[in-house]
């Protein structure tokens, strides 16, 4: 069996998937045709049903969860690793949020959802490729922006200032880890195959954790930030116990974000089962 799979070029994804797509582990007879893309491109592609298995922002997943279901392995979820709301000015005023041009890494990203949750006054949100947001703020194209992935490690060195750590905001509000993205599989695929994919991915992550040097070249050639120390920090932050298995706490965090999104957006689907069983 051959399946079409897509994930981001970010270090946590390339680290996690390296072993399975290169058949360094048992893939149980499944071959994978692989595409790498920006997270918002993945969100849009999944909305079109292009892939059998696809990395998704949880925010987008909630609007298509009638067609996709989440694997228990592979999620980017945890404490102190959420999106950052930043600006160039250190005397930023929260009183004029409605007037600001704010760059977000895609309408369907969890970063955009968390910004709307924390700052409902923000109205002028402009989707931008995540790796271009820092530059856009620095050059005055945007007043502020939401940084994800490697940007959280570099923004201070670039001269940007933190307005709000949106992940910390979520943690203070809920006491739960922040759910960023996960690996979704089409509901048209039979459950025994979904379980097999989940086992393969978990096996791939375990291999990567035990053999981090094996994936180093693959991670480096796809990363936006070429500093290997930052790549390592990225992996250490986003690949954790919830990546191996979402667990009860992780699942509660996703369900809480689902309820939050349902109150804010009319496009959220009413689906009781979000994860494979």
CB neighbour list of residue 266: distance below 8 Å, 6 or more residues apart: none
Q: Known catalytic residues? A: 149
pLDDT reported for residue 152? 74
Superfamily of domain 2-78+178-264: Periplasmic binding protein-like II (3.40.190.10)
The yes-or-no verdict on residue 93 having pLDDT over 70 is: no
| 39 pLDDT tier (thresholds 50, 70, 90) | confident
- Is this structure's pTM higher than 0.75? yes
pLDDT digits (tens, 9 = 90+) for 240-273: 999 999 999 999 999 999 999 999 899 999 998 9
Pick 19 or 97 by higher pLDDT.
19
pLDDT reported for residue 130? 82
Domain 84-174 has CATH 3.40.190.10: yes
pLDDT reported for residue 234? 83
pLDDT reported for residue 60? 95
User: pLDDT exceeding 90 applies to what percent of the chain?
Assistant: 70
User: What 8-state DSSP symbol labels residue 9?
Assistant: S
pLDDT digits (tens, 9 = 90+) for 134-148: 889 999 999 999 998
In 10 A of CB 154, how many CB atoms? 15
Pick 79 or 206 by higher pLDDT.
206
Which residue's structure tokens are 């180093």? 216
Tokens linked to 234: 């990225």
- Single out the residue of 175, 157, 164, 180 nearest to residue 238, CA to CA: 180
Ranges for all domains in the chain classified under CATH 3.40.190.10: 2-78+178-264, 84-174
């Amino acid at each position: 069996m051959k399946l079409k799979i897509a994930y981001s070029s970010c270090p946590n994804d390339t680290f996690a998937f390296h072993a399975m797509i290169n058949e360094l582990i048992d893939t149980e007879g499944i071959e994978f045709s692989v595409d790498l893309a920006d997270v918002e491109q993945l969100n849009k592609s999944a909305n079109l049903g292009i892939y059998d298995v696809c990395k998704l922002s949880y925010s987008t997943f909630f609007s298509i969860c009638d067609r996709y279901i989440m694997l228990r392995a592979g999620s980017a979820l945890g404490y102190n690793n959420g999106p950052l709301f930043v600006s160039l000015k250190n005397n930023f005023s929260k009183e004029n949020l409605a007037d600001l041009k704010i760059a977000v890494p895609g309408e369907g990203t969890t970063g955009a959802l968390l910004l709307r949750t924390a700052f409902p006054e923000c109205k002028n949100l402009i989707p931008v490729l995540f790796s271009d947001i820092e530059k856009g703020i620095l050059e005055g194209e945007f007043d502020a922006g939401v940084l994800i992935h490697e940007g959280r490690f570099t923004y201070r060195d670039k001269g940007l200032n933190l307005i709000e750590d949106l992940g910390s905001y979520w943690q203070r509000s809920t006491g739960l880890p922040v759910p960023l993205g996960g690996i979704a599989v089409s509901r048209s695929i039979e459950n025994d195959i979904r379980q097999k994919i989940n086992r393969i991915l978990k096996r791939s992550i375990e291999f990567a954790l035990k053999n981090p040097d094996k994936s180093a070249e693959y991670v480096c050639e796809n990363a936006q930030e070429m500093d290997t120390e930052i790549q390592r920090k990225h992996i250490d932050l986003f690949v954790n116990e919830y990546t191996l298995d979402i667990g009860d706490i992780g699942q509660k965090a996703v369900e809480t974000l689902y309820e939050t999104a349902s109150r804010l957006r009319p496009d959220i689907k009413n689906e009781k089962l979000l994860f494979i069983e």
